[in-house]
Structure 1
């Protein structure tokens, strides 16, 4: 509930709706939380579909996004109830499927081979009105994150710039997520290579113009997953900042002799291994202070010349304008995918 309110501009209709739902929750009724949030999510999903059918796809998209927030709020009110969990996942997936079928260029649900018994699932949206193979942006969700919200948040940005979009997560196909089976694997990053293999094999994709973006922008998971892969034309990830941050934190707990065995904080190994232009996008109030990020990216530029740092500032009392941030990111991606040659190491 707190997280939901933190992403909602205060004083607006959506903020008032959240408070209205919260007031209807009966603390003496253990089912009240789930019932109220699920009911409100279902209502929003129906409103979204009605808007899309009337031609107001953008209005529908906003309501589907909000419905997913409400489904997620419903999920936070119960423990390990499998039936309710599946109902929440079905609602979240339903929002994405409704959207995929409502656009001018209908999207599809695709299955991507990965592990022998564990395929990946992704949503693919073709570039609108494309008559030839189109450039594409791959959005990779952080381990544990679901892909539906990213699909709805990014689809418009991609379509406006003539880009196809593929959004993938690690939950596997269907309603019963098997993520717990693979979360401890050391080779999770190999999933990113499998997604890239699939995209390159599509006839409607220009395999010389493929970019990747992390669902939360500054992802060390994506940075590690694309290292040494020359097929990417551009990437939005943390470029190894988290790796450096971890080494610095670890070094503070070691003796001087032990510290000497670690690579230096200025050793940007991950960035050196990424073979395409990089955008490091960070919120002004995030896990890494802006001045530290600026200094570290300046160090990266010694080994990787094409690194751009963007700090998204916010008003002190307001949430980050994610739509505006994604506009900047997709403008940057569209420029890198405009047919310019990829950078080679």
Structure 2
């Protein structure tokens, strides 16, 4: 494999398949990491990567879409013969490959739209043929912009079950949670609602929505939907913010006391931004954010919060520890887990080893929801 050492970009343990294209190299690493969860096959990924002309985004698109189409068609053929498990496995990989194909293109590009629509079709097939059967749900949101989600019920449908909401930052798609986290919820008897901000269909007004100043209202709307279901235990609902590149989810839970647990940045990005502002305005230093104190988000966190990150993430590990110490000193119930390069799961979003991170995250959720250890 043509792997190049990349200490300056990825840290002492880092590497890049294409040094001249860091974005595509990171995406390729994500694809390889997804193989552990059934979201790709290593051999397929390596063969496909070997055919790509990295200087041509159309080559990237064409090769990953060809692989996605092959998995999609293989899944359809298996389903037509009654082999549902094989069909779902192929659809799951196709979802991920279509997502990768769209990566270099803007959402207005026809290639992007074609790949995303194919990805959504595979996701609907995957969700609709699970056991128990999942649902594609619509969640009301202000201004006539309904959110779309995939609801995967808990295996035991005889009683109300605990549930977890999985949502990424604006721009992340819910389809990837079908392979990233679904099995961890299912194996622990937890229902899953995977949701994003893209709405329903390729022609949604995402560019208008993402600029809203009240974006955190989304979290309350999603919770409203879940508590109205007769198969969800409204007292045991957790939320997982995937990737946490901002405090979007933390702002949502800070003013909604219905959550039993949350995995998110705990408002750290708000604290970092406040520190930056303090330094730019030459405020005197003192405490973790000078005389500005904790942000409203940090002060209003009510449920237990897990902050899970890697030492090669966007925020330096020592800075994360410092900020978490400030939250604990203020009485917040915060658990911090920093994955090291030696154990892996150390990249942003734990892209290099999502399995290790998800095992820790979902065991923590189980403990906070008062469920027996599995």
**Shorter chain as normaliser: what TM range?**
0.7 to 0.9
SS at structure 2 position matched to 1:203? coil
Distance 1:89 1:72 in 2: 7
Residues 148, 313 of structure 1: alpha-carbon distance in 2 compared, 3 angstrom cutoff:
same
Given candidates 116, 132, 155, the residue that maps to 1:89 is: 116
The residue correspondences of 1:99-248 to structure 2 (distance < 5 A) are 99-216=126-243, 219-248=246-275
**For the aligned residues, what is the CA RMSD?**
3.2
> Please, which runs of 5 or more residues in structure 2 have no aligned partner?
1-23, 346-350
Q: Does 1:314 align with 2:368?
A: no
Secondary structure in structure 1 of the residue aligned to 2:329 = coil
User: What is the rounded CA distance, in whole Å, between the counterparts of 2:183 and 2:70 in structure 1?
Assistant: 23
Does 2:27 correspond to 1:4?
A: yes
1:54 aligns with 2:72: no
Contact 1:236 1:281 (C-alpha < 8 Å) held by counterparts: yes
Preserved CA contact (<8 Å) 2:78 2:84: yes
SS at match of 1:238: coil
Which residue matches 1:343?
none
Deviation at 1:166, TM superposition (A): 0.5
Q: CA–CA distance in 1 between the matches of 2:78 and 2:342?
A: 31
Query: Are residue 325 (structure 1) and residue 357 (structure 2) matched?
Result: yes
Name the stretch that deviates more: 87-96 or 195-204: 87-96
More off after superposition, 187-196 vs 318-327:
318-327
Residue 168 of structure 1: how far off its partner (Å): 1.1
Of 39-48 and 285-294, the range deviating more from structure 2 = 39-48
More relative contact order in 1 or in 2 (CA 8 Å, sep 6+)?
1
SS at match of 1:252: helix
Secondary structure in 1 aligned to 2:315? coil
State whether residues 218 and 280 of structure 1, in contact with CA within 8 Å, keep that contact through their aligned partners in structure 2.
Answer: no
CA distance in 2, matches of 1:96, 1:281: 27
Instruction: Evaluate the alpha carbon distance shift between residue 30 and residue 214 of structure 1 in structure 2; reply closer, same or farther with a 3 A threshold.
Output: closer
Question: d(CA) in 2 for partners of 1:199 and 1:98?
Answer: 23
Q: Distance in 1 between matches of 2:104 and 2:283?
A: 47
1:153, CA displacement in angstroms?
Answer: 1.4
Secondary structure of the residue that 2:140 maps to in structure 1?
Answer: strand
Q: Measure how far apart 1:29 and its partner are.
A: 8.5
For normalisation by structure 1, the TM-score amounts to: 0.85
For the structure 1 residues 93 and 20, does the alpha-carbon distance in structure 2 shift closer, same or farther, using more than 3 Å as the test?
A: same
* SS of match in other structure, 1:7: helix
SS of structure 2 residue aligned to 1:301? helix
Deviations, residues 168-200 of structure 1 (Å, cap 9, x unaligned): 111111232320121211011111111111111
Matched residue of 2:181: which SS?
helix
Summarize the alignment of residues 56-71 of structure 1 with structure 2, pairs less than 5 Å apart.
Answer: 56=85, 60-61=88-89, 63-71=90-98
Q: CA 1:29 to 1:293, structure 2 compared with 1: closer, same or farther past 3 Å? A: closer
Superposition deviation, residue 117 in structure 1? 1.5
Q: Corresponding residue for 2:6?
A: none
Q: Relative to structure 1, is the Cα distance of residues 31 and 2 closer, same or farther in structure 2, using a 3 angstrom cutoff?
A: closer
1:218 to 1:181, Cα distance in 2 relative to 1, 3 A: closer
